Amino acid sequence: MLCKTKYFLKMHKYIFSLIILSILVLISCTYTKDHRVLFGKLKNGENIYKYLLANGSCEIEVISYGGIITSIKVPDKNNNLIDVALGFNTLDPYLKDHPYFGAIVGRYANRIDNGKFTINNMDYNLPINNNGTSLHGGIKGFDKVNWDVVSYDSEKKRYIKLNYLSKDMEEGYPGNLNIYVTYTLTDDNELRVKYEAETDKTTVLNLTQHTYFNLSGESFGDILDHKLEIDADSFLPVNEKIIPTGEIKNVEGTPFDFRKGKKIGKDLYKQDDQLLLGNGYDHCWVLNDYNKDLRKISEVNSDDSKIKMEVFTDLPGVQLYIGNFLDGSINSKQGMSYIKRSGFCLETQFFPNSPNTESFPSTVLEPGDKFSSTTTFKFSLQKKLILSFILFFSKILTKTIINSENKSDLTKPTFPSIIHSGQVKSIKTNNG
């Protein structure tokens, strides 16, 4: 009798263990399969989910709507995670009029003058949505559509791949354009943004990522004390519509010289026609060493958090925008106000209004060609002072040696053909 009782107890324990194990497996499978959080619903009832990228040091949150990066949390000088990306905690503010916080921007990032361009003797008209121009893809650009999540690393949480099919003549642009955007978080705290696109009809394309950064924290205040470096000898002056005039101007002796690094606010209030036209910095810099390869083009440092962000791209330009039109009417994630210049954008891209400016690198994409481009944002902490000095003087010495060996004339920028490994073909357009 005792033996029989022990047998039944043993069997009950075994069955109970199996039940618990089965429940845990089911929970685990469900979590692994989904690994997402409901962020809100569209008016048509469609669910919008939030996805997490994490590497044990950095955390990035992405939603399918607009491919928006809602949060970037990186360690500061005290090893505390702080959110350095402006945005919202809920979906509803993203569905209203907001300044493109964290969004994928296209079909054409930046401005096209009068909303018009010509390809192969065909005229195309785009919606006018900003001071006589078509801005960031028009009224309903890529920032306002729900992207399909085609792949998500739910186990390691290292990447997410989004897809959107922009139909022929959507917002006035020709061609069915199939776009993929992949966000990858590396072990080195790099956020890699890879763009891929193909079309069935000749079109124009200019994609960018529109995150507003504040390396002191998204609710900290303005970014005017951030130290910014841009590797560019030239920038594109603009007219009253913030459309490039076509001139490529040297930054030497202007407030637009960030080659050696300086605080964003250092020259912001100098008497300068371009600063007045842009209401501050809202211009495209012509990046040095454009050869279609990935290279470092910018560095930003916050003395408050000691966070450093480096930017790498294979594109020819970067638009610096410093939140000139933020006015305190939008609340931050912590309930504060996003005041004027409380965030900066470094929008890697082709040049504004390129379809109407033959001297600029072509943004034409042909059927059969594949567009591919990568931009990387790398986060780290500033090095200690003594090490910084050593690296600084080492850099100067290296440049001196290189310059002494190569004294070629670099005063005039040249733009190589854009097609390579899937880059856009350089084609002369009829600008009409």
pLDDT digits (tens, 9 = 90+) for 73-98: 999 999 999 999 999 999 999 999 89
Helices (H) and strands (E) in the chain, counts: 4, 27
CATH number at 118 reads: 2.70.98.10
Residue 431 has pLDDT above 50, yes or no: no
Whole-number pLDDT of residue 424: 37
User: Which stretch of DSSP H or E encloses residue 317?
Assistant: strand 317-321
CA dihedral (231, 316, 161, 87) positive or negative: positive
Q: ω into residue 107 within 30 of 0, thus cis?
A: yes
Catalytic residue among 61, 198, 218, 347: 347
Supply the pLDDT for residue 5: 44
Residue 191 has what pLDDT? 98
Structure tokens at 44: 């048509």
In a domain, 237, yes or no: yes
pLDDT band at 399 (very low <50, low <70, confident <90, very high): low
Token pair listed for 411? 């005063």
Please give the C-alpha separations between residue 207 and each of 3, 59, 210, in angstroms, as whole numbers.
Answer: 74, 24, 10
Residue 367 inside a domain? The answer is yes
Amino acid (one-letter) located at 63:
I
Is the distance from CB of 197 to CB of 176 less than 8 angstroms? no
Q: How far apart are CA 169 and CA 359, in angstroms?
A: 26
Q: Which of 136, 210, 226, 283 is catalytic?
A: 210
Give yes or no: 347 in active site: yes
d(CA 274, CA 18): 72
**pLDDT at site 391:** 56
| Domain-located, residue 310 | yes
Given a cut of 60, whether residue 173 has pLDDT beyond it is yes
The per-residue pLDDT for 383 is: 84
Could you please report the per-residue DSSP string of 173-232? --S-EEEEEEEEE-TTSEEEEEEEEEESS-EE-B-EEEPPB-TT-TTS---TTSEEEE--
Tell whether the model's pLDDT for residue 40 goes beyond 70: yes
pLDDT at position 382: 94
Residue 303 to residue 143: CA distance in whole angstroms = 32
Whether 4 maps to a domain, the answer reads no
Tokens of 423: 């880059």
Residues 352/382, Cβ–Cβ less than 8 Å: no
68 in a structural domain: yes
Query: Residue range 127-148: average pLDDT?
Result: 97
For residue 44, what pLDDT is reported? Answer: 94
- Residue 9: is its pLDDT beyond 50? no
pLDDT at 37: 95
The tokens for 290 are 């454009």
Q: How many domains does the chain have?
A: 1
Domain with 100, as residue range(s), is 40-391
Q: What is the pLDDT of residue 4?
A: 45
pLDDT per residue as tens digits for the range 178-197 = 999 999 999 999 999 999 99
CB 178 within 8 A of CB 162: no
366 in active site:
no
Using alpha carbons, select from 208, 236, 234, 230 the residue that is nearest to residue 315.
208
Per-residue model confidence (pLDDT) at position 160:
98
Query: Is residue 397 domain-resident?
Result: no
* Residue 403 falls inside a structural domain: no
pLDDT at 26: 40
Does residue 162 have a pLDDT over 90?
A: yes
Looking at the predicted structure, is the pLDDT value of residue 412 above 80?
A: no
pLDDT at 22: 43
CA-wise closest residue to 234 among 354, 53, 414, 36: 414
For the chain, what percentages of helix, strand and coil (3-state, to nearest 5) are there?
15, 35, 50
Tell me the C-alpha distance between 213 and 88, whole Å.
Answer: 13
Return the closest-CA partner of residue 363 out of 309, 431, 280.
431
pTM exceeding 0.85 = no
Grade residue 35 by pLDDT with cuts at 50, 70 and 90.
confident
3-state secondary structure 288-304: CCCCCCCEEEEEEECCC
Q: Is residue 272 part of a domain?
A: yes
- Mean of pLDDT values over 153-172: 97
Which pLDDT tens digit goes with each residue over 192-244? Answer: 999 999 999 999 999 999 999 999 999 999 999 999 999 999 999 999 999 99
Percentage of the chain modeled with pLDDT above 70: 81
pLDDT above 50: residue 124:
yes
Mean confidence (pLDDT) of the chain = 87
Diameter over CA atoms, the chain: 100
Q: Which two tokens stand for residue 120?
A: 């192969």
Cβ atoms within 10 Å, residue 189: 19
Alpha-carbon gap, residue 152 to 388, rounded angstroms? 38
